């Protein structure tokens, strides 16, 4: 198993306009763990992901990746370790060809051109996209661009994958392909998504954010089956755990939850 430990210790973040995005959030991701991050719009999910690889610095508290504190002096090391996949793949893809796009990160790390190309080819093979290497990213479908954006991060050989709405706007076939792809990765993973069925498929554990506060942390099958808890925090039951035909609750929705509640 690969991956490293990620520790978020009482992390808060306030934007320049005074907006409080995160309030004393704390949790640990163990090496190789796959964890979902859910919450309504504006709950702080994207902000939290940005703290993990240093795109933003906490205004209070601390983030550590593999024991290294995320701060200005360690950004080069942290960004080698934490690969952030943006919600919109077009925010990551800008080179003339797929191969150049995926090789761009390794080149910036100082890899020789031949080594960077070899990394890019391995990463594209990992996401089943070697047939796209000479294509323009702008000519690809959204599902193809999403896979290439993940390959661009994999080519950096990270220990942690932080994914922001990885299945957003994908059609059902592309979504299934993405789920199968992500299941096969051994990295420590934090998957932020409104798609609770995807989280249930990919993650053993779930963190729930609401208005910048961590309000729940526990096993995905139990936490995501508690409809009352989810509704209190602007969420709905995953479709797979919703009412069965005839209006009765699905059996898994009646389990007694064992997850942790946090006071606001």
Domain that includes residue 63, residue range:
6-89+158-261
In a domain, 113, yes or no: no
Could you give the CA distance from residue 106 to residue 120 in angstroms, rounded to a whole number? 8
pLDDT digits (tens, 9 = 90+) for 196-205: 999 999 999 9
pLDDT of 261: 65
CATH code at 182?
A: 3.40.50.300
Residue 124 has pLDDT above 70, yes or no: yes
Greater confidence (15 vs 178) lies with 15
pLDDT digits (tens, 9 = 90+) for 216-232: 999 999 999 999 999 99
Residue 31 near residue 199, CB atoms below 8 Å: no
Rounded to 5 degrees, φ, ψ at 216 are: -160, 150
The H-assigned helical ranges of the chain are: 45-52, 75-81, 98-108, 113-126, 142-154, 172-183, 196-202, 220-223, 227-232
pLDDT of 101: 94
Q: Which of 36-50, 67-81, 238-252 has the lowest mean pLDDT?
A: 238-252
For the chain, how many structural domains are there in total?
1
Residue 16 near residue 27, CB atoms below 8 Å: no
Residue 246 has pLDDT above 50, yes or no: no
In a domain, 101, yes or no: no
In a domain, 106, yes or no: no
Give the whole-number percent of the chain exceeding pLDDT 70.
91
In a domain, 110, yes or no: no
pLDDT digits (tens, 9 = 90+) for 45-93: 999 999 999 999 999 999 999 999 999 999 999 988 999 998 888 888 8
pLDDT of 143: 85
pLDDT of 20: 93
45, 59, 167, 243 from 19: Cα distances, Å: 14, 12, 28, 38
In a domain, 30, yes or no: yes
In a domain, 108, yes or no: no
Global pTM reads: 0.85
Could you give the CA distance from residue 167 to residue 88 in angstroms, rounded to a whole number? 10
In a domain, 183, yes or no: yes
In a domain, 212, yes or no: yes
């Amino acid at each position: 198993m690969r991956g490293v430990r990620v520790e978020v210790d009482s992390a808060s973040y306030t934007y320049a306009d005074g907006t409080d995005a995160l309030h004393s959030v704390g949790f640990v991701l163990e090496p190789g763990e796959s964890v979902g991050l859910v919450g309504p719009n504006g709950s702080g999910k994207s902000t939290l992901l940005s703290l993990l690889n240093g795109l933003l610095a906490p205004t209070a508290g601390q983030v550590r990746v593999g024991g290294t504190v995320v701060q200005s002096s360690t950004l080069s090391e942290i960004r080698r370790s934490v690969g952030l996949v943006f919600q919109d793949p077009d925010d990551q893809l800008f080179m003339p060809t797929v191969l150049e796009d995926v090789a761009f990160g390794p080149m910036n790390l100082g890899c020789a051109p031949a080594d960077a190309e070899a990394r890019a080819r391995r990463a594209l093979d990992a996401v089943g996209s070697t047939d796209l290497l000479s294509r323009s990213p702008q000519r690809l479908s959204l599902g193809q661009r999403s896979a290439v954006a993940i390959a661009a991060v994999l080519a950096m050989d990270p220990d942690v994958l932080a994914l922001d709405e990885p299945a957003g706007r994908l059609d059902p076939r592309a979504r299934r392909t993405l789920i199968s792809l992500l299941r096969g990765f051994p990295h420590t993973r934090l998957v932020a998504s409104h798609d609770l069925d995807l989280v249930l498929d990919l993650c053993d554990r779930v963190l729930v954010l609401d208005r910048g506060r961590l309000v729940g942390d526990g096993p995905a099958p139990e936490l995501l089956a508690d409809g009352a808890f989810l509704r209190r925090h602007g969420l709905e039951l995953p479709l797979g755990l919703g009412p069965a035909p005839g209006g009765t609750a699905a059996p898994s929705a009646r389990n007694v939850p064992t997850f942790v509640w946090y006071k606001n």
